[in-house]
Structure 1
Amino acid sequence: MIEIHWILYYLLLGSVVGFMAGLLGIGGGAIMVPVLTTMFLIQGIPVENVVHLALGTSMASIVTTSISSLRAHHAKQGVIWDVVKKMSLGIILGTFLATFLASYLSSVYLAIFFAIFMAYVSIQMFLNKKPKPNRELAGTLGLSVAGSGIGTISALVAIGGGSLTVPYLIWQNVEIKKAIGTSAAIGLPIAIAGTLGYIINGWSLSVPENYTLGFVHLPAVLFISIASFITAPYGVKLVHILPVAMIKKIFSLLAIILSIKMLNSIL
């Protein structure tokens, strides 16, 4: 039986992730992966598997958030479904196949890659840099290739793809609100493909007594998902009240600190 204090920690983590997802329009990987890595290490998960488990668990937890976000943006006609359709095949293949790559990499290399990528995202967020739209929307092949690249990186750092998809679509002359809505829709196939991939690749390491299915920790997914589903709408409501620009800067610093903490724990 899972101890009650771990349930409370997962609920707290999910609450923060959901709120930030609603407020800033980001996936929870930047927070979940380093925090879950630390929590799993404390619970005795072997260091060679701990980052894989954190990535898979984070990816599975993003499914619920993605569905909620997708529905909200669709209701406001903020999703370009033709782009979603053209990018989805590449997204699914890139995400799914990247989980096989991740399973062969050590936790140290995954942690280093995660930290470097989060540093890049954090700097972009802190400086609030946006690409200049200077080209037309790519065709089916271009969008599919871009999708495979976005899916690959998303699987290796357990993000919904927003930090990559939104800038890419803006660069393709897609209006910012539709870029965010379309990115939210693309986050669902990323999360599903990534979850399946991490379950399959970690199947031989499943430990029923620890409630793990492949590289997915089921209690963590359950309680994080419940809490994030509840708190995400509050983040959305506070977008026009709280100083989002300042919160983005604070979040970017927090992401770097958590990434460094994860690296320190692994090394």
Structure 2
Amino acid sequence: MSPSIPFCFAMAVHDLLITLPLGAALGFFGGLFGIGGGVIAIPLLALAFGMDQALAQGTALVMMVPNLLVGWWRYQRRHPVPIRRVLAIAAVATGTTAVTAHFAARLDPTLLRVLFGGFMAALSVSLLWRSAPSAQSAAPRPRDALIPLVGVVGGSSMGLLGVGGGLVATPLFVRLFGQRQTVAQSLALALVTPSAVVALASYAQAHKVDWSMGLPLAAGGLFTVAAGVALAHRLPERQMQKLFALLLMATALAMTLR
């Protein structure tokens, strides 16, 4: 029995040496793009660590929740979010997330993977088109009547795919509400963070979370998410949008190749 103790300790140290730096990298890119890092973490957990799609989504949420909290706090300091405007959409988003996450955690993993890849591909094409000079136009005045719809769409994506709340909300705020990219990311983080908590609870209840992997990823990300947010405010907005879209396209390609 005794030789197994140092072996288990060595394996635990080895796992930490992998997951902590990985979490740090994911936290940085999550802060840079205002997405919590799940868009990179989920395909990585599925492809490199052999997790099924639902387990990868639930485990990624463990990392995303603290990253989203830190990222939103950092963005809030630079771009304060109108709390009254956010409360209605956050309530709708969390309610929608609770319903969709309950069913997503029990769906066929292959179907979930196809939905995940298709969503990323479609969104990346849309963002690349919007970042083109010919697609830029005068932004309309924000329409309050449309704000709850952002919560419905973002919450559905968050519950079904474990990501996408910020990916959907950010371009909607840019295009429909005329916000700058960094301001839109601040708004999206404020809306997505409570949805991520609800989604994590639903996946955990369905036993679709690997806490031994998710917690070290979360710890690593906490050290770097602030640096990603800081860099986001130094890059040109159009370049940010293109980088954002290319990241999504790479994710969709990885899921398709699998």
* Structure 1 segment 118-267 matched on structure 2, within 5 A: 118-127=120-129, 128=131, 133-134=139-140, 136-139=142-145, 142-159=146-163, 161-176=165-180, 177-200=182-205, 202=206, 214-239=207-232, 249=242, 252-265=245-258
Distance 1:54 1:138, change over 3 A: same
Normalising by the residue count of structure 2, what TM-score does the alignment of the two structures yield?
0.82
Alignment equivalent of 2:85, drawn from 64, 83, 86 = 83
Separation in 1, partners of 2:169, 2:234: 26
The answer to whether 1:100 aligns with 2:123 is no
In structure 2, runs of 5+ residues without a counterpart are 1-7
* Structure 1 segment 34-49 matched on structure 2, within 5 A: 34-41=43-50
Deviating more after overlay: 70-79 vs 183-192: 70-79
Q: What is the identity percentage for the equivalent residue pairs of Structure 1 and Structure 2?
A: 25
Secondary structure of 2:232 counterpart: coil
Normalising by the residue count of structure 1, what TM-score does the alignment of the two structures yield?
0.79
Separation in 1, partners of 2:247, 2:142: 35
Separation in 1, partners of 2:221, 2:12: 20
Distance 1:135 1:94, change over 3 A: same
Instruction: Give the match for residue 206 of structure 1.
Output: none
Distance 1:136 1:244, change over 3 A: closer
Separation in 2, partners of 1:218, 1:93: 24
Deviation at 1:245, TM superposition (A): 5.5
Secondary structure of 1:216 counterpart: coil
- Which amino acid is the alignment partner of residue 163 of structure 2? I
Deviation at 1:192, TM superposition (A): 0.3
- Which amino acid is the alignment partner of residue 64 of structure 1? P
> Are the equivalent residues in 1 in contact too, given 2:154–2:166 (CA < 8 A)?
no
Separation in 2, partners of 1:251, 1:172: 18
Separation in 1, partners of 2:18, 2:255: 17
Deviation at 1:235, TM superposition (A): 1.9
Separation in 2, partners of 1:245, 1:173: 17
- Which amino acid is the alignment partner of residue 198 of structure 1? Y
Separation in 1, partners of 2:67, 2:153: 22
Deviation at 1:224, TM superposition (A): 1.1
Deviation at 1:66, TM superposition (A): 1.1
In structure 1, runs of 5+ residues without a counterpart are 203-213
> Are the equivalent residues in 2 in contact too, given 1:160–1:190 (CA < 8 A)?
no
> Are the equivalent residues in 1 in contact too, given 2:124–2:245 (CA < 8 A)?
yes
Instruction: Give the match for residue 208 of structure 1.
Output: none
- Which amino acid is the alignment partner of residue 90 of structure 2? S
Distance 1:71 1:166, change over 3 A: same
Deviating more after overlay: 220-229 vs 119-128: 119-128
Alignment equivalent of 2:31, drawn from 17, 22, 44 = 22
> Are the equivalent residues in 2 in contact too, given 1:95–1:190 (CA < 8 A)?
yes
> Are the equivalent residues in 1 in contact too, given 2:153–2:165 (CA < 8 A)?
no
- Which amino acid is the alignment partner of residue 212 of structure 2? P
* CA deviation profile, 1:85-118 (whole Å, cap 9, x unmatched): 0111211111111112213321111000100111
Distance 1:225 1:166, change over 3 A: same
Deviation at 1:138, TM superposition (A): 2.2
